[in-house]
Structure 1
């Protein structure tokens, strides 16, 4: 297990993240190296105990994490930095409140200058620290992306912390790589029994008005897509009680999520965009730009970070905002994501105990920056019997819920893998298992998000002039107000009712309803 080298207060290690400060530990048994050619012999440069590639999607740069004996750490880091084939080498860090919340530095930082700082003064600050200005950051005044050079004295974490003390700078953030959660693919479900949720959201009735339009594109962005073995969705079909539905080979979990979206909107276009297993600011910007460039109206953010406290950086927040306001030919894309599967708040503090290896202990902050972004529609999960799915995370940021399989709360961590979230729940399936026994798999909130994405595509298909915000409003206005008065068996909470604004922390504005949403969008509401 990773071993920190002192407290964050002793080391002064603070990660700036969207005007939020996260305390870090520096690990003394591993380092990150970056290089250009796969021919580089890392074993010769840095003798280590373990080598792990970090797929990042950054062009012309390969990353490798190297585990070394703690007594050799300083010498190994020095040797890596001195070798001509190594672009840069840094320690690996971890979030102070998460044993496996690993953080990997890149060479980029974001600086936002105070309004009265002139271009000449900005240049002087950059020159003082030997920074190369790459570009202005769209959507933020006085803000630029910089790259460290060989002459920069400090690593990005130390540099941004120092710059944050400069009165000329209002924000200084390093661009970091964070691992994404990876879910093992279960046994492939029988497509004949997979479509019970279509009835639950009244999709067959909505199909009397539209099954979608090829001009409406759903983009699925996920780290575990199988693009090589994914046929074009219209190339194969599975027969259902409602006719043929496009079929994707469910070789990965990402493909399964994509299948759910196209199940709901079978005549829409499906765009699959593969993510690597590590996400940074630059990658998020590029993949969202790629989705927009290829005509996406709905963008399904089908990933979750492998950490529990993940505020967005300024670059990430602005990238999501741009997609929601400027994408889809200026009408704005609808961004959809899942609330998470740990049965924890999207933003809040839980007193944790009984975690394996004391991964989390005592008052623990949970924050999903993406799920709380105002431009993102966050979906929670309910079961086929209109109860809260026991694993579904929750909070004020939930917009809608969708019907998915039952299951138990889980969290994926980089070294532990999939961990059951305590206290243990053993009877979640109960009588519900007959409803979904053909699926033979636990549900997740990304399934609910995929259903919402499919309904959004149907809405756009009948009214392509709608803005993304208008589509979201239609989905929320027409949602079915399901109620769950039973208490949560894990946290002893009862949040399955609605406040004066019609919002529930468990279900958002209700369960998505395809028929009602399409009818409202088309002007064919029942009398």
Structure 2
């Protein structure tokens, strides 16, 4: 067993176990092993006893399940192959989920430590600075010598025990889960589908009488974006595009099988010139491609890029792997996944410094495991808006997570007994996306899908409403936007005991987002001068209380 600590010496201690049943393989070339690295006969035979779990193609890493007790033997064989840079055993967290450690470490020194001192300490520990991290004082992303292996955990613990080090942990990477579970845009306003009235919307069409999100920028961090789609073609629509994962560049277009980001972006801010409108169609889109594993430094860098390049809202429809929502015995339901300090401080940077100090509004998909969101360090972070999913009957979507951290819900697909296939939104064009060109799955060209869903869809929907709020009252702080959503949300499924004395439900938060009411509340606050900028002596307002 190895351990590491998130949040400093007194923070959350994560224990990772070696069951001798996981093999991690890193090739000498990026991409998956099967696609790019032809292995020798012995390695292929050893690999034949492995079952692929997931891959991290940007760093050439694949994770495999091995017969229990055989991981060491098989890893040793594969490690000798000239095409393999490293093969070793993998670790699992207490829920059994695989966790990959790298030989990289996040370190944050005390604020009063000089750069010279920090670099001497790192050099003395045998660490090489890969880069300084400007979003936190005294923060570094460093590399241990190749071959350090699991000793990187001891190295990080020794650094954290120093009086001049505030935070330190190895870079731990998990399989990211895109939060989609399983016609036309019933989530925006009342419609009739197949002769049936569907009235479970977020009151978006009515809000468009006031604003369509002009002057705002929604950043969507996801697996890639078809930025050449006609719904993202209006003048100035795309701003500061970025690939945070290798090859790092200004091109956020998706790779093979990466359909999720295009659908999420469409829900948030598609132009509506073809067959799909986003919640905030006049908002700009900042697309950031992120296909690195959960917990990577690339993940943290994406938030810094967004905040430093003008994002108003940041939408994240991903997080820890979900348990099977239909299977209460799935051990993943009980997994606790902490938010890495590297990513937490990057979100802090966005909330503290984004929008000229008013703070980026960060919106997060709650998850699709029908489990407690409070175990998810990402969505339960008090600085984000955790969005659950409700269905086309005005009830909780069967898969949607629950808990104290849920702030609101937004219409999405359901796990069963739905009146509609899901949410109609943009898809990768042609045969590349969810819809290969089948009118039963969207349009005949394959440019739109009719069945996007999960909290993956709910999150960018709420992000679009945040854009409508800021277009109406741009001086609001991030915490004020969060509070506007709270007070304007509409209770649904209001049975006795569903909402507590604060008006909070563990399934719906403060209720289903109501875009028209939210815009009206924002306009009222702006007219009354209840924003930070109108009283420079007042300082930052207290954030609204997170349900506790």
- For the criterion TM > 0.5, the same-fold answer is yes
Name the counterpart of 1:299: 314
Offset of residue 14 of structure 1: 1.9
Contact 1:218 1:453 (C-alpha < 8 Å) held by counterparts: yes
Cα deviation 1:300-349 (Å, max 9, x = unaligned): 101122154211111111111111221234331111012112222222xx
Name the counterpart of 1:94: 92
Offset of residue 102 of structure 1: 1.0
Does residue 272 of structure 1 match 2:272?
A: no
Which of 141, 145, 152 lines up with 1:149 in the alignment? 145
Name the counterpart of 2:500: 498
2: CA distance between counterparts of 1:90 and 1:124? 31
Name the counterpart of 1:334: 361
- Structure 2 unmatched runs, 5+: 31-35, 192-198, 236-253, 270-277, 323-334, 425-440, 442-449, 529-548
Which of 343, 364, 369 lines up with 2:377 in the alignment? 369
Does residue 378 of structure 1 match 2:379?
A: no
Which of 16, 23, 45 lines up with 2:5 in the alignment? 16
Residue pairs, 1:1-40, within 5 angstroms: 12-18=1-7, 19-37=11-29
Which of 178, 191, 204 lines up with 2:184 in the alignment? 191
Q: 1:217 to 1:73 in 2, by over 3 A?
A: same
Cα deviation 1:481-508 (Å, max 9, x = unaligned): 335327xxxxxxx5x2132x33332222
Name the counterpart of 1:254: 261
Contact 1:379 1:449 (C-alpha < 8 Å) held by counterparts: yes
Name the counterpart of 2:174: 178
Offset of residue 145 of structure 1: 3.1
Offset of residue 230 of structure 1: 3.6
Name the counterpart of 2:247: none
Equivalent position SS for 2:91: strand
Offset of residue 261 of structure 1: 1.7
Q: Number of residue pairs matched?
A: 444
Equivalent position SS for 1:433: coil
Which of 280, 300, 304 lines up with 1:289 in the alignment? 304
Does residue 390 of structure 1 match 2:419?
A: no
Residue pairs, 1:449-460, within 5 angstroms: 449-460=459-470
Offset of residue 73 of structure 1: 4.7
Residue pairs, 1:125-144, within 5 angstroms: 126-138=122-134, 143-144=139-140
2: CA distance between counterparts of 1:435 and 1:74? 46
Equivalent position SS for 2:18: strand
Residue pairs, 1:48-67, within 5 angstroms: 48-49=47-48, 50=50, 54-55=55-56, 57=58, 61-65=59-63
Contact 2:412 2:457 (C-alpha < 8 Å) held by counterparts: yes
Contact 1:110 1:175 (C-alpha < 8 Å) held by counterparts: yes
Q: Where is the strand percentage greater, Structure 1 or Structure 2?
A: 1
Name the counterpart of 1:219: 219
1: CA distance between counterparts of 2:41 and 2:421? 57
Give the RMSD, CA atoms, in angstroms.
4.0
Does residue 106 of structure 1 match 2:99?
A: no
Name the counterpart of 1:208: 209
**TM-score w.r.t. structure 1 length?**
0.71
Contact 1:129 1:153 (C-alpha < 8 Å) held by counterparts: no
Contact 2:412 2:422 (C-alpha < 8 Å) held by counterparts: no
- Structure 1 unmatched runs, 5+: 1-11, 237-248, 348-366, 408-427, 487-493
Q: 1:271 to 1:197 in 2, by over 3 A?
A: farther
Equivalent position SS for 1:179: coil
- Which range moved further: 303-312 or 433-442? 433-442
